[in-house]
Amino acid sequence: MVPLFPTRNAFCRERERERAGKNQEERREKARMRCLASIRCLSLLLLLSLFLSASFAANFTCNVGPNATCRGLAGYVVPNATTYGRIRSLFQVDTLASLLGANNKSLSTPATQAVPVNSTVFVPFPCRCANGTGKSDGVPVYTVTANDSGLDAIARHTFDQFVTYQEIAEANKDKITNVDIITPGEELYIPLPCSCDPVQGKEVAHLAHIVAAGSSVSEIAEEFGTDVNTLLQLNGNFEPSKLQAGQILDVPLTVCSSSIVSTSLDYDSMRLPRNSYALTAKDCVLCSCNADTYQLDCKLNQSRSSACPAERCAGDRQIGNASTSGCEITTCDYAGYTNSSANGFDILAAITTNKTMCNNSPPAGMGLKVSKWAGLLILLHMALGSCVL
């Protein structure tokens, strides 16, 4: 006989099956939610990694003329402790003196001088303009090592993201057919960004600057002595709020004026920003950019005087000699150098005369200050007089 009502044991078994089914369904739902959460987390991490590893192609506009040349600068942020000699070798700077001069370091600084990690070193290099953009002229050429994992690693870690792996591949397309394959010992040209264009009608030195985390456009403009509008115009008029760490900016640096003539062999390479110097005329002349006057100060390099042509100004003045007469200062300035079949090369000099402050004249603004003090004294006298009355 089938019981009308299920027994207690059957009822309990039925309830257990129901609970087991619910628990299994709950476990499946929890597993599904965990899976979805993992996928979202993985997607977020992937997007974040892509954002953090983004590289920025830096194409500096250069329309001054076809095949125009000048001196480029890159603000290299040192990823690991190194030396000036190693930095010179990596970027193939022509001389150690060129690297030291760009950073206003003493000429006696040895190549083994340590450079701490995260230091910024200004690296000079030859720049050439073509097709509306500027790139380093043939250097540096990097030799692939067995430790290099690919073009992206070379661009990102060795050359501080001044270039992308695509730009390296394009610049070396005669050698590279697959961007994922590089061979130890292979030599690759690294096209650093640069420009020779004047800015607002004035000659400048264009610095390739890497944006640090937390920087703003206004802070960068203030640091390098330019203004926000100029900085934005040179870099495509992007929104300041969209500035990103690792972005490469074309920053114009004011350079010292000089008496170097346009026919001089170093005319294009002597655009020196403040607090820098350079040897020129085959190391016979040392020129520095005066941070106060923004006038190029040049003098003969005495250590090589015996091997250099002795060009002088009228009155047997050497380059760099100056004299003051009344309100004028007369200087024998360096005007460049040219090749010569007779002497190998000739150093040019020119007399320049500039106005200076006369010794008997009071400093500018002094009269206004005296007037203010006189006015205060009169007011004080009138106030005291009214009190007595």
Tens of pLDDT, residue by residue over 321-365, are 988 888 888 999 999 999 986 778 999 999 998 876 665 444 343
Q: Rounded distance, CA 120 to CA 74, Å?
A: 9
Q: pLDDT exceeding 70 applies to what percent of the chain?
A: 76
Helix (H, G, I), strand (E, B) or coil at 42: helix
Whether residue 170 is predicted with pLDDT greater than 50 in this model: the reply is yes
Confidence band for 27, pLDDT divided at 50, 70 and 90: low
Q: Rounded distance, CA 286 to CA 288, Å?
A: 7
Whether residue 372 is predicted with pLDDT greater than 90 in this model: the reply is no
What pLDDT does residue 153 have? 94
Among 43-57, 185-199, 297-311, top mean pLDDT goes to 185-199
What pLDDT does residue 116 have? 97
Sequence-distant contacts of 160-163: CB under 8 A, at least 24 apart? 160/76, 160/77, 160/79, 160/210, 161/55, 161/56, 161/210, 161/246, 161/248, 162/58, 162/74, 162/76, 162/190, 162/192, 162/193, 162/208, 162/210, 162/248, 163/58, 163/190, 163/191, 163/192, 163/193
Which has the minimum average pLDDT: 39-43, 128-132, 170-174, 338-342? 39-43
The residue that leads in pLDDT, 246 or 40, is 246
The residue that leads in pLDDT, 344 or 71, is 71
- Which tokens belong to 349? 């000099």
Give the residue-averaged pLDDT of 190-214. 96
Give the residue-averaged pLDDT of 188-214. 97
What pLDDT does residue 312 have? 83
Write down the mean pLDDT value for the chain: 83
Confidence band for 44, pLDDT divided at 50, 70 and 90: very low
Confidence band for 65, pLDDT divided at 50, 70 and 90: confident
Model pTM? Answer: 0.77
Whether residue 48 is predicted with pLDDT greater than 50 in this model: the reply is no
Whether residue 30 is predicted with pLDDT greater than 80 in this model: the reply is no
Whether residue 105 is predicted with pLDDT greater than 60 in this model: the reply is yes
Q: Give the closest residue to 144 by CA, choosing from 113, 112, 179, 117.
A: 179
CB 329 within 8 A of CB 353: yes
* 248-293 confidence digits (pLDDT tens): 999 999 999 999 999 999 999 999 999 999 999 999 999 999 888 8
